[in-house]
A and B are shown apart, each in its own frame.
Chain A
Amino acid sequence: MTREEIESREDESMMDAPQINKPKPEEFFNVNYLRIYYGKSPFSFFLTIKTFDLLRKPNNKYIIDGKHPGCDEYYFGRREFSFTLENDVYLRYKSFKNASSMEDAIRSHFPYKIDIGAVYSVDPDKRHAYSQTGSNVFTPVERELVFDIDITDYDDVRYCCSGADVCSKCWPLMTVAIKVIHTSLTEDFGFKHILWVFSGRRGVHCWVCDPKARRMTNEQRSAVAEYFRVYKGNENNARKVALMGYSLHPFLARSYVDYLKGFFEGELQATQSIFSTKDKYEKILAMISDEDIQSELRGKWENSARSSLSEEAISLVRWEQLKNTLQSKKHKAPTLRMCVEEIVFTFTYPRIDLEVSKQMNHLLKAPFCVHPKTGRVCVPIDPNNCDEFDPLAVPTLSQLIEEINSGGSRMDVDDDSDDSDTSLLGKSVKFFRSSFLEPLLKSCKEEIESSYKTKIGKSKDSLSW
């Protein structure tokens, strides 16, 4: 667990090393800014942290206004948080009795990063007190189903950037990923409360907060994660996606028809021109397991190298050639049957970091945190309008500070006044509230009430019996 965490941080920082020409991170991010961000809270970091995590849980609304008898007032106290402080000092298993004690802790530590973990069976802060009673009492009991997609994992199919860099040319890969996964989560698995969040630099996080999802076991989480797994590539095998069988599974077929195919032939060709040079198309040829076809296509393409067409046009022409060739030889070998689909999937299908989803105790950065390297705020993404999201337009900490200094923002912490729209974060906060938080709260309320009613009903029954 801890080590996975290290892994992710290490990769991030590793990717950073070579970018010397970039502005120093301090310009985007420094502790003093953070102090203001956490401390003055004119744009309600706490509102969001609080609302996201306190209110996300079934009962928290009731903690605040009091006393629904069916609510579990210790739920929040058993939620694990972790803080990453300056110099990568890493504090795990922090828990807070209530929102104000969490607020105090944040203001005294100024964490660079706040992660949200699972809800445990006992208060994580006091886990040692239970550790020697012999049985394994300290175990995670509830956890949102989370997904983490990083653009870094697409390095072999994007030619504009690499590592942690993102530009408007490769971000569409993320957009497609959001669409594919979001559709499946709602259509196939029937989840309703799904939050997509920009991770601050190079990817997106997804939180599925339905009660059913929160209570899934590790095994069930793995099952869902595996359901999404198509890409099995590793460094020692050129064919990264292997589709067996005579047709695509309905989920894959829908993804292919609705999203992937169009994206591959349209936007991806336009931005990445994946067939335009020898280096690029050799990679694709390696995915075709038939050597005759490989050499046939290679011959065609090498000869046509000096064409006057644009890169994109060349790429499109070659893709048509490849499709036609494969189509005509379809029945030659069983491994060629799905070859066209395999290539499309290799380039466009979401590459989820599965380990994050599989274990309940995995931590994930809280929404509305500030990414320490870019200074960008982790704002929610609307999955229905994700095409419009621009990662480079996300407000940075320094911009927010500027806004405060100029007195432009008058957002209040406790009520969502209408002028919030005008501030930098206002739109995100509003979206977060109206399309995620409020429906979730409503359904949680209903859930609590109905379960409380059945409890009452049951105890009445048993009494009379």
Chain B
Amino acid sequence: MSQVDNRNSSAAKRARTDGGRREDDWTCPSCGNVNFSFRTTCNMRNCTQSRPADHNGKSAPKHMQSPQSFSSPGRYLGSGGPPPVYMGGSPYGSSLFNGSMPPYDVPFSGGSPYHFNYSSRLPAGAHYRPLHMSGPPPPYHGGSMMGSGGMYGMPPPPMNRYGLGIAMGPAAAAAMMPRSGYYSDEKSQKRDSTRENDWTCPNCGNVNFSFRIVCNMRKCNTPKPGPPQLQQGGSSDQISKQKAPEGSWKCDNCGNINYPFRNKCNRQNCGADKPGDHSNESPSNAPEENDQSNIASGRRPCCSGRQVASMHLSLYLSLVLKGVSDGLARGKNPKEMDDVVDALWKEHMRHSDASEMLNKDIISHFVLRLVYCRSEELKKWFLSMETALFRHRFRLQNFEAQRAIVGEFGLPYKAVTGAELESLKERLGQVVRSLGQISPSVEAVYYKVPFEEVPDLVAGRRVLIQKGHAFVAGSQLVSLAVTQFRSHISKALILTNRKWMTTIREREKDRLTPIVEALSTTYVGPDYSQSSEYADISLKDIDQVSKSSFPLCMRHLFEKLREDHHLKHGGRMQLGLFLKGVGLKLDDALAFWRAEFSKKVGSERFDKEYAYGIRHNYGKEGKRTDYTPYACQKIISSAPGVGDHHGCPYRHFSEDNLRAALGRMGLSSRGMEDVMDKVRNKHYQLACTLTFEAVYGTSCDVGINHPNQYFEESQKILKSKTPAAPV
């Protein structure tokens, strides 16, 4: 099904691309760029070749999309199996559904997305608490059939299968699950066997699922033979006898049996109205007006109680993850984070009944997967927060429990013993000492793993690496577990995302989609890519504002730019995006940077080499992403090198330089000592907050998390101090 969808959309796209090149367009003889007919010079950056006289003569083959372009990757995927990175999915998502899974497509050919099925094997209430590693069998899932829903990384519908709760329609559910598992009365579990209602294409011989109305073979599209109405109706009736709940209705148009709550036929490409139901209540209007409180209190007409309950549950986990995110942003060290996680977990997730807690954990996790699978940014956030949560919960376990969990991953790594360990002892001791322990106490247990498995340990030089193997100490087990956990969730999110984009979003647009969309937007921090009400500075006050309201990092960059008339890439990015967030318009930004850079490199070179980057930041070039200003977290973790001035002054300046810089901001010596104290303890954001408080003489309870936030807070204060005078 998804294959059909995808092909259609790419076919449409192809048509558009082809049409995109009109007859009068011309190809640049110098760089090959295809230009609109109205252009007189080539539009390619830095080319500006003028239009040749016989522009119609030559066409660039690379812009002509030939049909082959689609067959080649398809063939590649079909014959060789999906490439490793795709984790079993192809761009078309085909191999998941066309019934002929390649036999060597191991990772996802069975079982849950994790190799381990931790929660099901352990009695609830075991001495360690459930983690999100579990496969999805909470008690009220309809047996194994729902369990297998986890196979493709989708949340299993946490409710029963009759469409209550967040249950999908049958087609959506089919999209999420291996078809063989869907009908519980079907005994045939073999993937490659043909099922009763499947039909064979008379044209190409492909065996299609029963619900397809056209052949699924690429480029075939032959309609299903026989009177589709009758056959469809027949099979649906058969299903309805077995399992359609009361109140289900049959579509007049295609004969599909729909669940009682549907107002429109659920069959793809049908969508006919429910017969005799022309009530004014149009579900498609409702979603837009829904706000968080509505969702939480369940006033949504088409939300059942269960759906609300599970969405509600997911809010708790959201709160925990948000707390983790805050903790990390404040630069807490691992020990402090352990406490933070422990407290958050107790506050939000604890339940008197251990199995309820397990459910809460699982349901909320899978709901959030759906919520956060939808864009790269959301995915990244969710992934890093879940991983952080996992890391700290793992650390809270004792060693035996940790080993048991790692055992659940089924990692094949053996402890190093005997002569090998002896021969490494000296160097292992060196590693331990290099990490700051005086006595070289080599641990008893070391695991030998490929170095790729423990990137964080490699990056910190915290392990011995030899011939491609890292020697991981027993106390570093967490890194191994985290890597596994992270890659599992990451794969699952990618697959969930694919299903969401191709099928479920559209199918659930009246029910699930609005909720899912609302849930994620509620929990992301303020977006500084749009300038706020306080901002909107213009070129002429930029100097004055930089002195009054810029945080130290930006002030430093700004001064260096004025001084050297040049900043390196990192500095241009950090300052440029900040200024964008502050409200400097693109034209002003270009004028600002040009004024400085032209003093050093000349305005011609500026236009040629730097203007592109600035326009890029504003989403006017390249892939046209509107970049967001860097948050403190990112700035602190950046690594300025030779000639660089970006980064967080509190972290990257030496003490003398920082003192001098703070002095220029007008800090008293006492205030400075407080700041330096925080810096020494590596609380860079707190140091910045203290600087803020010292400069403006007010307390700043929220803390500084973002340079643009610093700017806004300071503008607020300055405005309230001088209400009459415009800043």
Interface residues of A (CB under 8 A from B): 1-4, 6-7, 9-11, 13-14, 17, 72-74, 77, 85-91, 94, 109, 121-123, 125-126, 128-137, 139, 141, 152-153, 155-156, 187-191, 212, 215-216, 219-220, 222-224, 226-227, 229, 231-239, 244-253, 351, 354, 454-455, 458-459, 461-463
Contacts and interface: CB of A to CB of B under 8 A. Distances in A.
Given A129-B70, A135-B498, A89 B433 contact: no
A9 to B, nearest CB: 7
A167 B5 CA distance: 61
Interface string B244-262: 0000000000000000000
A235 B438 CA distance: 32
Interface in B2-33: 6, 9-10, 13-14, 17, 30-32
Nearest to A228: B461
Given A6-B613, A136-B376, A351 B642 contact: yes
A133 B103 contact: no
A227 B657 contact: no
Contact of B14 (A13, A129, A226, A462): A129
Contacts of A126: 65, 69
Nearest to B466: A188
Contacts of A6: 609-610, 612-613
Contact of B653 (A7, A73, A237): A237
Given A188-B466, A459-B104, A88 B608 contact: yes
A213 to B, nearest CB: 10
Contact of A226 (B10, B458, B647, B657): B458
Interface stretch (B79-87, B179-187, B316-324, B677-685): B79-87
Contacts of A224: 458
B622 interface: yes
Given A125-B62, A188-B466, A237-B652, A246 B461 contact: no
B640 A235 contact: yes
Contacts of A94: 62
A165 to B, nearest CB: 16
Given A3-B569, A223-B459, 5 more contacts: A129-B69, A131-B13, A222-B455, A234-B652, A461-B103
A85 B85 contact: no
B156 interface: no
Interface stretch (B42-50, B138-146, B197-205, B580-588): B42-50
| Residue picked from B30, B605, B643, most chain A C-beta under 10 Å | B643
B464 A250 contact: yes
Contacts of B85: 121, 139, 141
Nearest to A463: B103
A152 B643 CA distance: 10
A244 B682 CA distance: 15
Contacts of B469: 190
B652 A458 contact: no
Given A88-B608, A250-B430, A128 B17 contact: yes
A136 B32 CA distance: 27
Contacts of B601: 14, 17
B17 A129 contact: yes
B568 A7 contact: yes
A189 B461 CA distance: 13
B467 interface: yes
Given A190-B469, A215-B84, A236-B652, A155 B76 contact: no
Given A86-B30, A250-B430, A74 B459 contact: no
A7 B160 CA distance: 56
A234 B467 CA distance: 33
Nearest to B65: A129
Contacts of B639: 229, 232, 354
Contacts of B642: 152-153, 155-156, 233-235, 351
A54 B452 CA distance: 26
Could you say which interface size class chain B belongs to? 35 or more
A6 B601 CA distance: 15
Contacts of A132: 9-10, 13
Contacts of B644: 234-235
A137 B91 contact: yes
Nearest to A152: B642
A340 B583 CA distance: 49
B654 A219 contact: no
B468 A189 contact: yes
B427 A189 contact: no
B435 A245 contact: yes
Please list the 9 inter-chain residue pairs (A to B) with the smallest Cβ-Cβ separation, ordered nearest first. Answer: A190-B468, A223-B455, A226-B459, A234-B640, A462-B103, A7-B569, A134-B501, A190-B467, A247-B433
B224 interface: no
A125 B69 CA distance: 10
A350 B30 CA distance: 40
Contacts of B80: 72
A189 B456 CA distance: 15
19 contacts: A10-B609, A11-B568, A13-B609, A74-B73, A89-B46, A91-B32, A128-B17, A132-B9, A134-B502, A135-B502, A152-B642, A187-B466, A190-B469, A191-B468, A215-B84, A232-B639, A250-B430, A252-B434, A351-B642
A128 to B, nearest CB: 6
Contacts of B465: 188-189, 227, 251
A351 B468 CA distance: 23
B69 A135 contact: no
Contacts of B436: 244-246
Interface string B428-455: 0011011111100000000000011001
A85 B30 CA distance: 8
A123 B83 CA distance: 14
Contacts of A135: 91, 497-498, 501-502
B641 interface: yes
B282 interface: no
Given A250-B430, A458-B104, A88 B46 contact: yes
Nearest to B85: A141
A254 to B, nearest CB: 9
Given A3-B616, A9-B609, A227 B461 contact: yes
B460 A226 contact: yes
Contact of B458 (A73, A77, A88, A227): A227
Nearest to B495: A135
B609 A236 contact: no
A122 B73 contact: yes
A74 B76 contact: yes
A399 to B, nearest CB: 28
B284 interface: no
A248 B434 contact: yes
A17 B430 CA distance: 48
A454 to B, nearest CB: 8
A141 B62 CA distance: 22
Contacts of A220: 452, 455, 458
Interface string B597-609: 0000100010011
A226 B457 CA distance: 10
A245 B461 CA distance: 12
A85 B42 CA distance: 14
A246 B569 contact: no
Contacts of B622: 1-3
Contacts of A77: 72
Contacts of B707: none
Nearest to B438: A246
Contacts of B616: 2-3
B649 interface: yes
| Residue picked from A72, A109, A188, most chain B C-beta under 10 Å | A188
A226 B456 CA distance: 9
A278 B618 CA distance: 47
B107 to A, nearest CB: 13
Nearest to A93: B62
B468 to A, nearest CB: 3
B649 A236 contact: yes
B391 interface: no
A232 B652 CA distance: 9
Interface in B65-102: 65, 69-70, 72-73, 75-76, 80-81, 83-86, 91
